[in-house]
Structure 1
């Protein structure tokens, strides 16, 4: 048997930065919306992922159940893919954690200030408790830091010269 045909000699095809970024968006949306649902469950905030995507559009009993929260988390995760794509296109070349933190803060502002009229189950900003405002800002900042740092790290990791290159490293 030829050595190139052995399974251990086969190399996996690398995943592109764009695909990793989209996966990062899904995972980031999943993780931080689960934390958002837990924050809602433990009364740190008045809003949950289901408040945005489910209860704002359907006013039935199941939307306040565990199923409603799960569907809200899945919906936020899918929408987060678009958020990661925006970060990838606009900010992938940035360094450090601050661009991601600022991105998360900007997303919070867009959702809670500009898009708030779309979400009927989410109180207006002046009507929210300080606990809700602080908790959601923290969750969005952490989400942005996760998305931003992950995407820019992958971009810079793939685009840095290898150790044996003539770049002097």
Structure 2
């Protein structure tokens, strides 16, 4: 029984780490996309410029601070995925989860973010770029968490022989 609890907590901790790693990786991709004008929205637009004003929020310092905050905040969607969808197989749940996150943030929560234009005013480049980033985050988190969950549920044959 203790081994089962250890496996469960191990998957939980890996899920938290996976969320942070996904936020960091896709946050960097978001900064690069913003820098090369693929998107008019940066994670600094969401995190810093909504709550703080100043020229420092627009430079590399703002991007770096918001990347750190995003890395921490990205644990929340990974935790939600772990709690609700860890038993789902394949890549499709991650794709749908990423699309769902994008819709929630860019459609429903958009009025909270002052520096993010409304969906109907965004360029198609921004919509496609950000949607792809969210889908990739969803696949990264979803596939990793479900793989770990299913991998830990299968008891290795050597453990069965010992018991």
SS of the aligned residue for 2:51 comes to: coil
More helix per residue: 2
1:3-82 residue pairs with structure 2 within 5 A?
16-82=10-76
Does 2:78 match 1:114?
A: no
* 1:101 maps to which of 73, 95, 100: 95
- Identify the match of residue 124 of structure 1 among 105, 108, 118: 118
Distance in 2 between residues matched to 1:114 and 1:78, nearest whole Å:
22
Shift of 1:58: 1.3
Aligned residues: CA RMSD: 1.5
Could you tell me which of 137, 142, 150 is aligned with 1:148?
Answer: 142
Aligned to 1:92: 86
CA shift, 1:113, in A, is 0.3
- Using the size of structure 2 for normalisation, the TM-score is 0.91
Matched, 1:138 2:127: no
Give 5+ residue unaligned stretches, structure 1. Answer: 1-12
Residues in 2 aligned to 1:73 and 1:47: alpha-carbon distance in whole angstroms: 14
- CA distance, structure 1, for counterparts of residue 44 and residue 126 of structure 2: 15
- The runs of at least 4 consecutive aligned structure 1 residues that moved more than 6 Å come to none
Offset, 1:161: 2.9
Q: 1:107 offset after TM fit, Å?
A: 0.2
**In structure 2, C-alpha distance between the alignment counterparts of 1:163 and 1:103, rounded to whole Å:** 34
How much has 1:163 moved relative to structure 2?
A: 3.1
> TM-score when scaled to structure 1?
0.87
1:118-152 residue CA offsets vs partner (Å, 9 max, x unmatched):
00010000000000000000000000000000000
Q: Which structure is higher in RCO with an 8 Å CA cutoff and minimum separation 6?
A: 2
Instruction: Work out the number of aligned pairs and report it.
Output: 154
